[in-house]
Amino acid sequence: MKPILEMTKFELTAYIQSALEEQKIHVVLSGGAAVSFYSDNAYVSYDLDLVNLFSVERKRIKQVMESLGFVEEGRYFTYTGTDFFIEFPPGPLTVGVEPVKNVDEVRFVTGTMRIISATDSVKDRLAAFYHWGDEQCLKQARLIKERNKVDLDEIERWSKGEGKQREFLRFISD
């Protein structure tokens, strides 16, 4: 197995997810790290948000993370020598008020990474733009759209459900 200090953020994600899966703990990568993946690192995030799909007690997650050599610091887990910090936001896995529809799987030598789809990653970033006015998240959503095939009809449908059709028009009008 490749040493943790030599793993990319996505290899590390797959490694952690595989270890958690062995303990029946199911998590999916979301947030800024998903943007990093879908933008080919044009946007860089060192925060790996692994959303807990079910109600798993944090102490079970902590046991697995400590067995891998991670240390809990506040709400994050860190590994000495890496710049990455791992967070386990509680589920359910949603974008706005809707559940995430698709989870992609990407295989690495270190395991299988489960990540929200590019379309749902756009919705995740747009949710922050729509509801908090986060302009950086609008830029991130556009990065994903430019580099991936996303379902614009689905994003528009979802945006209407969020009451944000005007903001959607701004998103698609680069």
CATH code: domain of residue 61: 3.30.460.40
The average pLDDT across 3-18 equals 97
Same domain membership, residue 151 and residue 75: no
Domain count, the chain: 2
Same domain membership, residue 32 and residue 91: yes
Q: How far apart are CA 167 and CA 158, in angstroms?
A: 12
- Say whether pLDDT at 98 is over 80: yes
pLDDT of amino acid 51: 95
Residue that terminates a domain, selected from 72, 99, 116 = 116
Spatial contact of 159 and 168, defined as CB atoms under 8 Å apart: yes
Same domain membership, residue 124 and residue 108: no
Same domain membership, residue 72 and residue 126: no
Structure letter (DSSP) for residue 100: P
- Say whether pLDDT at 55 is over 80: no
Residue that terminates a domain, selected from 90, 116, 142 = 116
pLDDT of amino acid 54: 82
For 59-97, how does the pLDDT look when each residue is reduced to its tens digit (9 = 90+)? Answer: 999 999 999 999 999 999 999 999 999 999 988 899 988
Residue 75, CA distances (Å) to 27, 116, 140 in order: 16, 22, 24
For 118-155, how does the pLDDT look when each residue is reduced to its tens digit (9 = 90+)? Answer: 999 999 999 999 999 999 999 999 999 999 999 999 99
Same domain membership, residue 124 and residue 111: no
Residue that terminates a domain, selected from 116, 138, 164 = 116
**Whole domain around residue 142: which residue ranges?**
118-172
Same domain membership, residue 63 and residue 140: no
Same domain membership, residue 142 and residue 101: no
Same domain membership, residue 111 and residue 29: yes
The average pLDDT across 26-35 equals 97
Same domain membership, residue 100 and residue 25: yes
Same domain membership, residue 64 and residue 125: no
Spatial contact of 53 and 99, defined as CB atoms under 8 Å apart: no
Question: Going by C-beta distance under 8 Å and a sequence separation of 6 or more, which residues neighbour residue 145?
Answer: 122, 152, 171
Q: Please provide the average confidence, as pLDDT, over all residues in the chain.
A: 95
Q: Is the pTM of this model over 0.75?
A: yes
The answer to whether the Cα torsion of 151, 127, 96, 52 is positive or negative is positive
Beta strands per DSSP E along the chain: 27-30, 47-52, 71-73, 76-78, 85-87, 94-95, 98-99, 103-108, 111-116
pLDDT of amino acid 30: 97
Same domain membership, residue 162 and residue 111: no
Tokens of 120: 């749902």
Q: How far apart are CA 16 and CA 1, in angstroms?
A: 13
Same domain membership, residue 111 and residue 63: yes
